[in-house]
Structure 1
Amino acid sequence: MPQLLLLPGFMLDQTLWDDMRDGLAQLGQLHFGDLGQDDSISAMAARVLQNAPPRFVLVGFSMGGYVAQAIMQQAPQRVIALALLNTSARQQDPREIAGNRMQLELARQVPFKGLTSRALASSLHPDRAHDRVLLDRLQAMALRNGKEVFIRQLSALRSDGYAELENIRCPTLVVASSNDQLSSIAEAELMAARIPAAGMVVIEDCGHMTPLEKPGELLQILSGWLSQSVNR
């Protein structure tokens, strides 16, 4: 049974996978990476590698997908297979960087009360933007992470990683969602085109938070992919 290493997104934690956890445990032994202790993507990757099993299947969601790509640069020989969920290899543009700087200045001055309702809503399918249960779960993760993690993760700049994708040699799955307002299908397609052994799946009627919005479908996709690429 393979070792499965799961990386969450911005201001999320391992409870992101709760609705899939039992099913994922059928696929491999679960490990959860901590992305809250460092303020750069490369440092996050190095810390995850320090605590990871010798070889593993790597699943990176959103910001965790950027960290997964950094892991592929730092220790490609340790990754048996790679799944990139609702993520990108695009660098932040000047407008995003400026926006982050403003948020950082504000965050350092005031108590942390979680993510804004607008930020939370934009991560879900428009039809679920007022789903109190999902919004509360997202906010609970953000509050558990707290102010210091918010500052560290917001400080972590994302550089252009498209050129590096061509060096990925392990079986790779790229998953995108039809209504993702944070990571576009076009970005996912560009990633899949650059990675030599990549396949791509689009989940319909789903926003950015695939593990919360469509856990059953995502589990089925990962299960089918793993049985083909790892358990042959």
Structure 2
Amino acid sequence: MLFCGRHPHKREIVNITPCPLVLIPGFMLDETLWQRFQTCLPAGWPVLHGALSGGKTIRDIARHLAETLPPRFVLVGFSLGGYIARQLAADYPQRAAALVLVASSLREDTEQQMASKQRAVQSLSAATFSGLSRTAIAGSLHPDRAADTALIAAIRQMGNRLGYAALASQSALRRADVPAAAIQCPTLVVAGAQDALRSLDEAQELTAAIAGATLQVLDGSGHMLPLEQPQALADTLVRWLNEQGID
């Protein structure tokens, strides 16, 4: 069982509440993103789920989420969720025991990317939106999984459940000025070796921007690491937390 805080002397660990993982999904994904990953964690590990809602900015969403969380936690943010996790870690340093950024980035969207997102939103409506496109989803996966219709359907259904309003609000989020250098807690950056959406250069930039951060690259996965390599991701997270003495 992992506990909040860093404990070099195991005999001192008594009556301490287990430190929960706070799992934050990415763009147009919900908590089912983490189902496979959760089954790979040690039994009894407390898990809480965050959502990309509760505000019009990344800081607002982070503040809204913080209001629902216990005093201490380990943050695990996937892709866009990594930006929320970084904001939380920087704004609440006394509460973040550790930070894990999965398939995320330091970079902000360009004006052209923002404009493209808005055009996509405007081309749809609540009546016509039924999830991200199958082509886009397939392009986010490892080439060996690009034809996995069940996996693609599961990812598409997440977006369908969230709906058009979530698409509009998440597409409008500005990713600029999200803290990195201000983060004080132990940080792990995890990247997929075959991620076509977030490059290894981005993972290296993110790692370099956070003091003392560690980078781990997992082979055999595209962007959707929690679904494509859940066991490897869970093993990597648990091993790293143990190495940090967060147990």
TM interval, short-chain normalised: over 0.9
- 1:80–1:230: 8 Å Cα contact kept in structure 2? no
Question: AA paired with 1:201?
Answer: Q
Residues 142 and 231 of structure 1: CA distance in aligned 2, closer, same or farther (over 3 Å): same
Q: Aligned to 1:20, what secondary structure does the other structure show?
A: helix
Comparing 85-94 and 68-77, the one that deviates more: 68-77
Deviations 1:8-65 (A, max 9, x none): 0011111111112133353731100021343321121111101111110000000100
Match of 1:192 among 187, 207, 216: 207
Aligned with 2:67: secondary structure? helix
Q: Distance in 1 between matches of 2:113 and 2:176?
A: 12
Gap runs ≥5 in structure 2:
1-17
Q: Which residue identity lines up with residue 212 of structure 2 in the other structure?
A: A
Task: Tell whether the 8 Å contact from 1:210 to 1:218 is kept in structure 2 after alignment.
Answer: yes
Structure 1 match to 2:97: 80
Deviation (angstroms), 1:217: 0.6
2:27 — aligned with what? 10
Q: Secondary structure at the match of 2:43?
A: helix
Moved more, 197-206 or 110-119: 110-119
Which structure's residues are more often helix, by fraction?
A: 1
Contact 1:175–1:203 under 8 Å retained in 2: yes
Q: How does 1:1-232 map to 2 (within 5 A)?
A: 1-24=18-41, 26=43, 28-108=45-125, 111-161=128-178, 164-232=179-247
Displacement after TM superposition at 1:107 (Å): 2.6
Q: Which deviates the most, 68-77 or 182-191? A: 68-77
Contact 2:25/2:78 (8 A) holds in 1: yes
- AA in 2 matched with 1:84: L
Code of the residue aligned with 1:92 in structure 2: it is D
Cα distance in structure 1, aligned partners of 2:61 and 2:144:
33
Q: SS where residue 167 of structure 1 aligns? A: coil
Q: Distance in 2 between matches of 1:166 and 1:152?
A: 27
- Report the aligned-residue RMSD: 1.6
Larger Rg computed on CA atoms = 2
Partner letter of residue 16 of structure 1? L
Q: CA deviation at 1:160?
A: 4.5
In 2, Cα distance between equivalents of 1:86 and 1:222: 14
Provide the secondary structure at the position in 2 that maps to 1:51: coil
How much has 1:104 moved relative to structure 2? 2.0
Structure 1 residue 150: Cα displacement: 1.0
CA contact (8 A) 1:206 1:213 kept: yes
Q: Which runs of 5 or more residues in structure 1 are unaligned?
A: none
SS at match of 1:87: coil
Does structure 2 conserve the Cα–Cα contact (< 8 Å) formed by 1:83 and 1:175?
Answer: yes
Percent of pairs identical after alignment? 38
Q: TM-score, structure 2 length as denominator?
A: 0.88
Aligned length: 230
| TM superposition score normalised by structure 1 | 0.93
Letter in 2 for 1:210: L
- AA paired with 2:40? G
Measure, in 2, the Cα distance between the counterparts of 1:20 and 1:49: 23
Paired with 1:27 and 1:170, the residues of 2 have a C-alpha distance of 24
Contact map agreement 2:106 2:202 (CA 8 A) in 1: yes
Do the aligned partners of 1:92 and 1:158 also contact (CA within 8 Å) in 2?
Answer: yes
1:29 aligned partner, one-letter code:
P
DSSP 3-state at the match of 2:40:
helix
Contact 1:122 1:181 in 2 (8 A): yes
Once superposed, which parts of structure 1, at least 4 consecutive aligned residues long, lie more than 4 Å away?
none
